[in-house]
Amino acid sequence: MAGPTISVRGVQLRADPAREACFKVVHLYSELWRTVDMSAESQREKLHREYNTEVQGMEIAAQSLAEFPDAPWDLRMEMARQCWDESRHARLYLQRLREKGGYKGEFPIANHEWTTTCVFETLVARLAIQNRTFESGSMDSMRKAIKVWNDAGDAETAEITDAILADEVQHVRYANQWINRLGREDPKVVLQVAATMARLRQMSAALRPQPGDISVNGVDLVATPHVSVRANVEDREHAEFSGAEITAVVKRQEAEEADRFAITRLERVR
């Protein structure tokens, strides 16, 4: 069922969705900009990246509507609504980008969410990856982003981010509801989701930055620590993750943070 594919670092991915010639579409993190501050240029890059991410969210939901005509109607309605939501979000980010002097194609883009999600051939796998994994991760990072934009004195972008975050909760929630429901009806779905997540972890490991990878703006992608992002527990509860699932995410993030702290200490000692 999946359409044309490409191979990146030996990983089979869905070929990119259509983009205008003004965009430079890349596949590796080292070909992208890596934002490490809130300079004017970095702010525009964040908005440009979010714009393309929202477009991908719309494209993934639309592709699933087109490719899975036998899905339950109520689930198709959720995906159709998501198309509208993501379309509005993309408009909001592009408008804000332009207000800050930016433009389409100003920075390279990668369609990681599309190329990863749409290579999977079942709807439940796509919901597990795009809605339940990528978008729930966005819920965490967007909560943090609201504070970052406010701290940078940009209350307007912070407000836009909060409005978008509220919409994203429903995209995660409907995926949780449908995966649980389909899993109750057919236990094979549970195994399918587990296999999907295992494959996703393998793909992510192969695609993540390697030692020595430098972003286009000169940032060492492995040595430079990521800003820590805490689980957005409140919105994860709204999105109907179970208590056990939320606890697991919090523990994993705490462990990652402890690892980063230990590495930083070690580097200081050296």
Partner 1 sequence: MGLTVKQRGQNVATFRFVEVRIMEILSAWVPTTPEMEAKLLLGAHIWDTAQAADALGKRTYELRLPLQHSLTPVVGYLELLDDLAAAEGAARRIAAFYDVVLPGLAARYRRYLAQTDALMDAPTVRVIERILETGIRMAREANELRAEMPALKLGDTEWLARLAERERNVAELVVEPEAAAA
Q: Which is nearer to partner 1, 19 or 144 (CB)?
A: 19
Considering only residues 11, 32, 47, 58, which one is a binding residue for partner 1 as defined by CB under 8 A?
58
Q: Does 83 sit near partner 1 (CB under 8 A)?
A: yes
Which of these segments, 19-27, 121-129, 150-158, 255-263, binds partner 1 (CB under 8 A)? Answer: 19-27
Binding residue for partner 1 (CB under 8 A) from 7, 10, 20, 218?
20
Among 54-62, 151-159, 219-227, 235-243, which window interacts with partner 1 (CB under 8 A)? 54-62
* Segment interacting with partner 1, rule: CB under 8 A, options 66-74, 162-170, 240-248, 258-266: 66-74
Size of the site for partner 1 (CB under 8 A): 28
Pairing state of beta strands 11-14 and 5-8? antiparallel
Q: Which of residues 208-237 bind partner 1 (CB under 8 A)?
A: none
Q: Which stretch binds partner 1 (CB under 8 A): 84-92, 141-149, 171-179, 197-205?
A: 84-92
50 binding partner 1? (CB under 8 A) = no
The C-alpha atoms of residue 207 and residue 8 are separated, in whole angstroms, by 8
Verify binding: residue 258, partner 1, rule CB under 8 A. no
CB of 77 to partner 1, least distance (A): 6
Least distance from C-beta 67 to partner 1, angstroms? 8
For 79, the token pair is 């995906």
User: Cα separation of 77 and 74, whole Å?
Assistant: 5
Q: What are phi and psi of 74, to 5 degrees?
A: -65, -35
Q: How far does the chain reach from its first CA to its final CA, in angstroms? A: 52
Question: Which residues contact partner 1 by CB under 8 A?
Answer: 17-21, 55, 58-59, 62-63, 65-66, 69, 73, 76-77, 80-81, 83-84, 86-88, 90-91, 94, 104, 114
